[in-house]
Structure 1
Amino acid sequence: MTGALLLEVEHLSKSYGGVHAVVDVCFSLHAGEMLALIGPNGAGKSTCFNMVNGQIPADTGRIRIGGRDTKGLSPRQVFRLGVGRTFQIAEVFSSMTVRENVQAVLMTGDTGLAGLWGAAGKRHVAAADAVLELIGMADMAERPCADMAYGDVKKLELGIALAAGPKLLLMDEPAAGMAPLERVALMALTARIAKERGIGVLFTEHDMDVVFSHADRMMVLDRGRLIAEGSPESVRRDPKVRAVYLGDGRVYDSGERTVPA
């Protein structure tokens, strides 16, 4: 990778009693790179995500974001290191307009209390509109989120994550619940912005067409262990991946038990 190193994960493990959720996982992510983390249900993807995001502590291993060790940091402190996140089920403030949702994120950097929303709603208008222009929603700025189609809600969630200017973006099944053409459009938009702005993107996704079309590199987890990593084409050809995930009928057993991811 030619971009700067943004994320370093070294020997990451997490267990719940005698059940191994993530086992000795190592990987890195660079600026402008789209890195997919895939695997069967229960493989440990969400557990891995939540450790990177600071939501759950690792048992062993180290995570560095921009060279900073994140051990002991809260999710909010991790966010302040330049980490954004989207979720499988998109969450926006349905009572607000599209613009106001973006403004709410921009206001988190303000000092002091914003006061009533009538005054606060006048803050960061230009910056919010710039984000909406970036994601192709400028013409929807005044629309109440409660009136939007789900595909537009997912796109707005991307804008909300980008509003804080993240260096690293974590996307948990970004295409979930979207129509096929919407999935392609959202991930193409994400990839373009990542390249233009030097944002590293780590994403999970069950839609293999989305993964193979937009990932620069892929990692495959099975029963908490990383069993393959590389280009989409090399991962597609890997016999262990074909056995556990792509479904060619062969059997592969790592011998480990896991909890649901």
Structure 2
Amino acid sequence: MSAAPLLQVEHLSKSYGGVHAVQDVSFSLVPGEMLAMIGPNGAGKSTCFNMVGGQIPAGSGRVRIDGRDVSGLSPRQIWRLGVGRTFQVAQVFKSMTVRENVQAVFASRESGWGFLARAGSAHRTEAEAVLHLIGMADFADRPCADMAYGDVKRLELAMALANDPKLLLMDEPAAGMAPLERVELMGLTARIAKERQIGVLFTEHDMDVVFAHADRMMVLNRGRLIAEGRPEDVRQDTQVRAVYLGEGLVYDQAAAARRASA
């Protein structure tokens, strides 16, 4: 028996004047599933993604998490329901250590906007457990300002996981990372998602990342959902191939395997 949907997006639309950024988009996501949202530039991915997370109010339609309608809730209210978020440009506190960044998330869950005052003193054990989960325990005392960007992206994932999410939203998680770092980060994310039954919705331009880690994928073009399904099926869709002509949708599996093992 298939799992009940964790995330349900129903007839989501958003317009800016006469421009239809997102038009009647519906999809669902179950626990433990990696769902990729792809499309050419201007397809409406960011608008749709940010409506799910509450950063942009929907023009029409509904977003449901665990059956609850979250339409109109603020990003923080949605976060408190168990939704983690990472960004295309990693969002961390550079003046803090790695451990303190994760402690800040735990403190924020308890004390709201007063969390920074308690970031370095509370939840040390919990923070270290999360860092161990993602292989960053040895980095705990390192200042974020001294870290390579790939490690900063891993830290941002740790901060998202500190919220104990049931749903994880990842906006271009591989952006700005070296090829091997991309493979490692998304492999780690996929493993944790399966182990903890976290649903993951992610946008991504790197087709190697998408085809290697997505259980399903959906393709937007000019605000509309034009294809959805398993990566191997979507790759063969004639409309998708036409939209992506010249943009790298044709996936070289052998080449990707060589890069992953390099």
Name the TM-score, length of structure 1 as normaliser.
0.91
Letter in 2 for 1:149: A
The residue that corresponds to 2:238 in the other structure is 239
The residue that corresponds to 1:88 in the other structure is 88
The 8 Å contact of residues 108 and 114 in structure 2, kept in 1 or not, is answered as no
Q: In 2, distance between residues paired with 1:229 and 1:222?
A: 12
Q: Structure 2 vs 1, CA of residues 112 and 69 (structure 1 numbering), >3 Å: closer, same or farther?
A: closer
The 8 Å contact of residues 3 and 32 in structure 1, kept in 2 or not, is answered as no
Q: In 1, distance between residues paired with 2:176 and 2:121?
A: 33
The residue that corresponds to 1:73 in the other structure is 73
In the TM superposition, what whole-angstrom CA distance separates every residue of 1:43-69 from its partner, at most 9, and x where no partner exists?
000000111011111111111011110
The residue that corresponds to 1:16 in the other structure is 16
Q: Secondary structure at the match of 2:233?
A: helix
- Give RMSD over aligned pairs: 1.7
1:75 deviation in Å? 1.0
Letter in 2 for 1:76: R
1:3 deviation in Å? 3.8
Q: In 1, distance between residues paired with 2:48 and 2:116?
A: 39
Identity of aligned residues (%): 77
Letter in 2 for 1:164: N
The residue that corresponds to 2:255 in the other structure is none
Q: In 2, distance between residues paired with 1:123 and 1:11?
A: 43
Task: Give ranges in structure 1 of 5+ residues lacking alignment.
Answer: 249-261
Letter in 2 for 1:15: S
1:228 aligns with 2:227: yes
Q: In 1, distance between residues paired with 2:101 and 2:191?
A: 23
Task: Give ranges in structure 2 of 5+ residues lacking alignment.
Answer: 248-262
Letter in 1 for 2:129: A
Q: Which structure ranks higher in relative contact order (CA pairs < 8 Å, sequence separation ≥ 6)?
A: 1
Name the TM-score, length of structure 2 as normaliser.
0.90
In the TM superposition, what whole-angstrom CA distance separates every residue of 1:187-219 from its partner, at most 9, and x where no partner exists?
000000000001000000000000000000000
Q: Secondary structure at the match of 1:5?
A: coil
Q: Structure 2 vs 1, CA of residues 107 and 116 (structure 1 numbering), >3 Å: closer, same or farther?
A: closer
In the TM superposition, what whole-angstrom CA distance separates every residue of 1:70-92 from its partner, at most 9, and x where no partner exists?
12211111111111110000121
Q: In 2, distance between residues paired with 1:138 and 1:219?
A: 35
Q: Structure 2 vs 1, CA of residues 40 and 125 (structure 1 numbering), >3 Å: closer, same or farther?
A: same
